[in-house]
Amino acid sequence: MHGNPANFRTLKPEKVVETIGILEQRIFERFPQSGLRSVAAELLEISREAVVRADRIRRPNVPLQIASAVLIIAIFGLIAAMLHGIRIRDDLFEMANFLQSVEAGLGSVVFIGAGILFLATLDVRIKRHRALKAMHELRALAHIVDMHQLTKDPESIVRSGPSTQSSPRRTMSTFELGRYLDYCSEMLSLISKLGAIYVQEFPDPVALDASDQLAALTNGLARNIWQKIMVLDHALVTTHTAATAPPIAVRTDPAEPPRATGNPGSG
């Protein structure tokens, strides 16, 4: 039986949290004392907070919306009362007085319109601020993941050379280094998914742009990691091919007389 197509049209936050939890456990089992495991634990905590924060961003702030609506209605009521109390004087239509009245009226309309717009968009701007703050945390975490893989250079295995006093300690085997880089790549991908959770049901243009920038950042960092993984895989294939290749046999035929060396025409 095929699954419900609607199940594949939205990103389920609880599934992302579950995936991050499994990844954290995998890293703990493979590298229990590594700093990457601490970063994974922090990512798991942030993912759990993201579910709550995304739901808070998605839900309308009813008290704030009611208060804004009441203030807007009060503004319109005040305007209506002011218009009702206006008395038109005979000299209003004189050019100087008329221009002065129009200028004052336009200034009042702009001021009142700005106040109404501020109240009407207050809920959206608060949600946008929360989403952008969450994106900033995820960007910082992505850079932290990149810092952990920065010194994990496959060239040190492919082309071993003398270390300096300040060289980072390289104690991983080829297999462990490959797994470490894979974990970093997975973490970056999941950070991008957390960013998508925030804007999945909050399609604010500014927040969507921040989510796209986060995705571009994590994709770029993951691309650098995959370049390292490709170098490592190429080295493994080359080493395996050289180790399993049969020795080159030299053909010797006892019936064939030895060939003369030197110049046949000499002597």
What are the pLDDT digits (tens) for 210-234? 999 999 999 999 999 999 888 887 7
- Mean pLDDT, the chain, rounded, equals 78
Could you read off the pLDDT of 166-198 as tens digits, one per residue?
Answer: 666 777 888 888 899 999 999 999 999 999 999
Reported confidence tier of residue 70, pLDDT bands at 50, 70, 90? confident
In sequence order, what are the residues at sequence separation of 6 or more whose Cβ sits closer than 8 angstroms to the Cβ of residue 176?
30, 31
At position 28, the amino acid (one-letter code) is F
Confidence of residue 267 (pLDDT cuts 50, 70, 90): very low
Neighbouring residues of 21: CB distance < 8 A, sequence distance ≥ 6: 44
Q: Could you tell me the pLDDT band of residue 4, with boundaries at 50, 70 and 90?
A: low
> Looking at residues 110-134, what average pLDDT do you find?
80
Residue 63 pLDDT level (bands cut at 50, 70, 90): confident
Which long-range contacts does 79-84 make (Cβ < 8 Å, 24+ apart)? Answer: 79/112
pLDDT for residue 151? 83
Identify the residue whose tokens are 């960013």.
195
Q: Is the pLDDT of residue 144 over 70?
A: yes
- pLDDT for 237 equals 65
